[in-house]
A and B are shown apart, each in its own frame.
Chain A
Amino acid sequence: MSEAAAISIHELSFRWPRADKPLLKIPQLTLAAGESLFLQGASGSGKSTLLNLIAGVQTGYGGSIRVCGEQLENLSTRQRDQLRADRIGLVFQQFNLLPWLSPLENVVLGCRFSAQRRQQAARQDGSVEAQALRLLGELGLASVSGEKRATSTLSIGQQQRVAAARALIGNPPLIIADEPTSSLDSDHRDRFIELLLTECRRSGAALLFVSHDRLLATHFHRRLQLDHLVQPAQEGKPC
């Protein structure tokens, strides 16, 4: 994949239109290609806003954000959406899947808006479906991948792994996981993180893992505390 850093943030500041203090102020943040970073922050610390900024769905900030070599400020809305579709795989805490699609279809959905990822998947495994099946197999979901069963019948742990497969399909250079383990018990939590890290290593993707739970940090190359990054004495606004 590209040699450019997965994320490179410089002098970022963001404030809500009518707020008097900025919510975020980050002088410097870099996530190198292939690196895994644990970003810890309490709720209300601006985590979600930071992720929305990186994913290109939130605009109106100062400073610069580069994602996979692309300067977000220079891109149009449409180009930012395309960048997200092509380069970023996202996993959330919950509601990751469309309940009316099968698990396999949910994984394939990850390529729906990106021709680039479809081609990548086809190059690596022959077809998008083949890669989806491989990923599901590697994540220990071979048993549900063949079925047309409703995604809603899966356990939460299984659902999160399907979501991880969807984020990974088509080999995006950046995976962002936002509290993906908060709904899991501790056994499943550790297993999920290990699986996610293994898959990211295998595909060479950088991983930005965001959580409030500092105990998880041990799994990662690097750990950052959002509260420390952000300039002191700011008041977080829930979002």
Chain B
Amino acid sequence: MLIGLAWRSLLNRKSSALLCVLTIAISVTLLAGVEKIRHDMRDGFFNTVSGTDLIVGARSGQVELLLYSVFHLGSATNNIRWSSYQTIAKDQSVDWAVPLSLGDSHRGFRVVGTSSAFFDRYRYGSERQLGFSAGEGFSALHQVTLGADVASSLGYRLGDEIVVSHGLGNVSFAQHKDQPFKVVGILEPTGTPVDRSLFVSLESITAIHVGWRAGVPMPGMKVSEQQLEEMDLTPKEITAVMLGLKSKTAVFQLQRAINNFRGEPLLAILPGVALQELWKVVGRAEQAMLAISACVVLAGLTGMLGVLLTGMEQRRRELALLRAIGASPHHLLFLVMLEAGLLTISGIALGLGVLWSVLFFAGDKLQQLLGVYLTLGWPASLGWISLAVLVAGLLAGTLPAWRAWRYTLADGLTPKN
């Protein structure tokens, strides 16, 4: 019953009410948006590698190994011998093994030497497989498959020829100019480091380094395509191995076995555990983000408080009149609280509507911009966010409501001005 009056009264103050709703809406969009991104970022982070049971590399720290093998950050201090790889891959508990060879780049993007099994075995998100937006995985020497970001930011298409640089710098003087690669496939975006990588076969990696010593081409050494094809291009060393096991129960046993490998010092890590450890560091930022957006909500509600409080002075007569026709101070307290509630609820609804539309219409753009794989949906804690904002809004409403209460008691039937 009172809600009709509250509504009409707000309509009468359309512009300030609208401003209120907008401020709250913006802050809610921000809060829910940050929460959404935070959540998807977390999911994306933990789902960067799924379906891989162990990652093996030269002995170092587990976070370090995770960083260079999965996130392509930093570089390995040591490599693994090809023979060690073969021994591990042949272990009876191993279902599949995908070798990774890192160390070259193309215009700032990492070049990953691997086997074509990578495209079948790599999983991200909830067991999602890689897909091709064009072409296919490499199948021969000097063929390259591009991650989505690489293709879109450098504007590459199928059939283009690219040159790989030696080393990881953005501007490298040592280029493998003599052996250009042909783009045969482009992957669909995944929101993982895969998007920012180029994939070639291990043999290609070996081939481009034929005739190189200590990072520079030896003068006068040129190899022809013919010669390369006759050569044995099996690599001597690789950087890391991704392992899938036949049975998950064997994980710890195999991990221990690899860590105690006789041939050379190796380290096997469980990706989930290493991710967890890394998140402890990275996750700090997300909490800061959340705190900041909570502050924005606070600012929005303070704005509403201001509008309601200044409105109270002007509405003193209105309150006295309502009192004269039989409203008790409780009614008026409730009326003002209702207004605050209506404003807050409208703000929340509008804010969430904006968030949804942004996700719906601009989700892809945002994804590219933020590098976060955004799902279309509400943040998991939507209910809590809405409830928290509503409660905060009602709390903010208590102040003008209390003022209304005081006015009605002081004024009686006729306002004193």
Asked if A85 and B413 make an inter-chain contact with CB atoms under 8 angstroms apart, the answer reads no
Q: Which of B12, B323, B416 contacts A57 (CB 8 A)?
A: B323
Nearest residue, chain A, Cβ from B324: A90
Q: A231 → chain B, closest Cβ, in Å?
A: 23
Asked if B328 and A77 make an inter-chain contact with CB atoms under 8 angstroms apart, the answer reads yes
Asked if A28 is at the interface of the complex by the 8 Å CB criterion, the answer is: no
Nearest residue, chain A, Cβ from B323: A57
Q: Which of B1, B12, B324, B331 contacts A92 (CB 8 A)?
A: B324
Asked if B325 and A90 make an inter-chain contact with CB atoms under 8 angstroms apart, the answer reads yes
Asked if B317 is at the interface of the complex by the 8 Å CB criterion, the answer is: yes
- B304-336 interface mask toward A, CB cutoff 8 Å, 1 = contact, 0 = none? 000000000000011011011111111100000
Asked if A101 and B326 make an inter-chain contact with CB atoms under 8 angstroms apart, the answer reads no
Asked if A55 and B328 make an inter-chain contact with CB atoms under 8 angstroms apart, the answer reads no
Asked if A95 and B317 make an inter-chain contact with CB atoms under 8 angstroms apart, the answer reads yes
Residues of A113-169 contacting chain B, CB below 8 A = 113-114, 166
Asked if A96 and B323 make an inter-chain contact with CB atoms under 8 angstroms apart, the answer reads no
Residues on B with C-beta less than 8 A from A101 are: 8
If A100-B8, A113-B331 touch, does A52 touch B412 (CB 8 Å cutoff)? yes
Q: Which of B318, B325, B329, B413 contacts A113 (CB 8 A)?
A: B325
Residues on A with C-beta less than 8 A from B9 are: 98, 100
Asked if A110 is at the interface of the complex by the 8 Å CB criterion, the answer is: yes
Asked if B12 and A78 make an inter-chain contact with CB atoms under 8 angstroms apart, the answer reads no
Q: A198 → chain B, closest Cβ, in Å?
A: 22
- A78-106 interface mask toward B, CB cutoff 8 Å, 1 = contact, 0 = none? 10011011100010100111111100000
Asked if A217 is at the interface of the complex by the 8 Å CB criterion, the answer is: no
Q: How far is the CA of A113 from the CA of B322 in the complex (A)?
A: 9
Nearest residue, chain B, Cβ from A105: B8
Nearest residue, chain B, Cβ from A239: B416
Q: How far is the CA of A113 from the CA of B325 in the complex (A)?
A: 7
If A84-B326, A166-B325 touch, does A112 touch B412 (CB 8 Å cutoff)? no
Asked if B292 is at the interface of the complex by the 8 Å CB criterion, the answer is: no
Residues on A with C-beta less than 8 A from B326 are: 81-82, 84-86, 112-114
Q: B4 → chain A, closest Cβ, in Å?
A: 9
Asked if A26 is at the interface of the complex by the 8 Å CB criterion, the answer is: no
Q: How far is the CA of A97 from the CA of B322 in the complex (A)?
A: 9
Residues on B with C-beta less than 8 A from A112 are: 1, 5, 325-327
Asked if A92 and B328 make an inter-chain contact with CB atoms under 8 angstroms apart, the answer reads no
Q: How far is the CA of A97 from the CA of B415 in the complex (A)?
A: 14
- What are some 10 contacts across the A-B interface (CB < 8 A)? A57-B413, A77-B329, A81-B327, A85-B326, A85-B327, A92-B324, A95-B320, A112-B326, A112-B327, A178-B414
Q: How far is the CA of A163 from the CA of B131 in the complex (A)?
A: 74
Residues on A with C-beta less than 8 A from B1 are: 112
Residues of B376-417 contacting chain A, CB below 8 A = 412-416
Q: How far is the CA of A58 from the CA of B411 in the complex (A)?
A: 10
Q: Which of A48, A98, A110, A166 contacts B413 (CB 8 A)?
A: A48
Asked if B11 is at the interface of the complex by the 8 Å CB criterion, the answer is: yes
Asked if B325 and A92 make an inter-chain contact with CB atoms under 8 angstroms apart, the answer reads no
If A52-B412, A95-B317 touch, does A109 touch B12 (CB 8 Å cutoff)? no
Q: Which of A52, A95, A109 contacts B325 (CB 8 A)?
A: A109
Q: A99 → chain B, closest Cβ, in Å?
A: 7
Asked if A51 is at the interface of the complex by the 8 Å CB criterion, the answer is: yes
Nearest residue, chain B, Cβ from A95: B317
Q: How far is the CA of A96 from the CA of B317 in the complex (A)?
A: 9
Q: B342 → chain A, closest Cβ, in Å?
A: 15
Q: A111 → chain B, closest Cβ, in Å?
A: 9
If A84-B326, A112-B1 touch, does A98 touch B414 (CB 8 Å cutoff)? no
Nearest residue, chain A, Cβ from B9: A100
If A100-B11, A100-B12, A113-B331 touch, does A52 touch B413 (CB 8 Å cutoff)? yes
Q: How far is the CA of A99 from the CA of B324 in the complex (A)?
A: 16
Residues on B with C-beta less than 8 A from A82 are: 326, 328
Q: How far is the CA of A86 from the CA of B325 in the complex (A)?
A: 9
Residues on B with C-beta less than 8 A from A85 are: 325-327
Nearest residue, chain B, Cβ from A55: B413
Nearest residue, chain B, Cβ from A99: B12
Asked if B328 and A98 make an inter-chain contact with CB atoms under 8 angstroms apart, the answer reads no
The 8 closest A-B pairs by CB, nearest first: A85-B326, A100-B12, A113-B326, A81-B328, A52-B412, A57-B412, A95-B317, A90-B324
Residues on B with C-beta less than 8 A from A110 are: 325
Q: B90 → chain A, closest Cβ, in Å?
A: 83
Contacts beyond the supplied A86-B326, A98-B318, A98-B321: 6 A-B pairs with Cβ under 8 Å: A92-B413, A98-B8, A100-B12, A112-B5, A112-B326, A113-B325
